[in-house]
Amino acid sequence: MEKHKLLGIDIGGSGIKGAIVDIKKGKLLTERHRIETPKPSTPMAVAHVVRELVEHFAWDGPVGCGFPAVVRHGVALTAANISRKWIGTNAEELFHETTDLPFAVLNDADAAALAEMRYGAGKGKKGVTFLITIGTGIGTALFLEDKLLPNTELGHLHLPGNKQDAEYFASDAARKRGDLSWSAWGKRFDQYLNYVYHLFYPDRFVIGGGASKKFDKFEAFITVPVPVLPAQLLNQAGIVGAALSAEHLNKK
C-alpha cells in the first residue's frame, strides 16, 4: 500500500460515492463510483454499501468517510438527512466490523472543507474561513488557518422570524422544492450569509456542494462585505477530504 493513496467515501442523503485519492496532490486516482443511498438508510444498509465500494476498488487499506451528521470520535450524534437509527451508532466501529479495514469517519461538510483548505479555495489563507456546502442540507465548517473546529451545525440556525431551520429555506433542496429562480433563491441564501456573517465575522466564505457549480448564477445577489469564493474541488471535495481524514491511519 502506498502511503499517499487512501480510499475516500462520501455518504450523502441520495448517493454514496467513493474513489481512491492521492492525498499528496488532492486528486482522484480512479473514477468516482456512486451507489444510491439505501432507503431506509439504516446503519446496516449503509454499511453494506460501504462494503460494496471497498470491494469495487479491491481496497485493502485505511478508509476515510464523510457522513451527513454530527460525528464525534466516530459516533453519529444527529441524523437530519439520514435514518434516525444512526443516532448513537459508532460508525467507525460498524464499518470496521463490516469490512475489516480501519476507518476514520467525520462530518461531510468538515471533510469537504478539509480538502478545500488543503488544496482549493482556502489554501494558504490567513484568519477565519467559513465554508458552506449547499446540497440536500446546508453543511458548515469553520477554520482558523488550517485548524478545523469540527461539527458546527449552522445550517440549523433559524433566521429571524423563521420557524424552520435555515437549510429548509436556503439549501439547494429548498430551491428545487420551491422551483425558485436563481434570483429568488440567491436572495434567500444571501440573507443566510449575512446572518452568519454577523455572528462570526469570518475573513471569507467558501461555497461548496452541488450549488458551487452554479456559483455564477447567484454570485450577483451576494452582499456580505467579505470575499465569497466558490469551492475549487467541486463534487470531489467530499471524497478527497474524507480520504485526507484517514491519513493518520496509514502507518505503512
Catalog residues that contact ligand BGC under the rule CB under 6 A. 68-70, 78, 80-81, 107-109, 133, 135, 137, 139, 153, 155, 167
**Least distance in Å: CB of 133 to ligand BGC?**
6
Identity of the residue, 109 or 121, whose beta carbon is nearer to ligand BGC in the bound complex: 109
Identity of the residue, 61 or 238, whose beta carbon is nearer to ligand BGC in the bound complex: 238
**Least distance in Å: CB of 107 to ligand BGC?**
5
Residue nearest to ligand BGC (CB): 137
Identity of the residue, 26 or 210, whose beta carbon is nearer to ligand BGC in the bound complex: 210
**Least distance in Å: CB of 100 to ligand BGC?**
27
- Measured distance CA(46)–CA(41) in Å, rounded: 6
**Least distance in Å: CB of 209 to ligand BGC?**
8
Q: Cell 439520514 identifies what position?
A: 82
**Least distance in Å: CB of 155 to ligand BGC?**
5
Identity of the residue, 151 or 232, whose beta carbon is nearer to ligand BGC in the bound complex: 151
Identity of the residue, 35 or 77, whose beta carbon is nearer to ligand BGC in the bound complex: 77
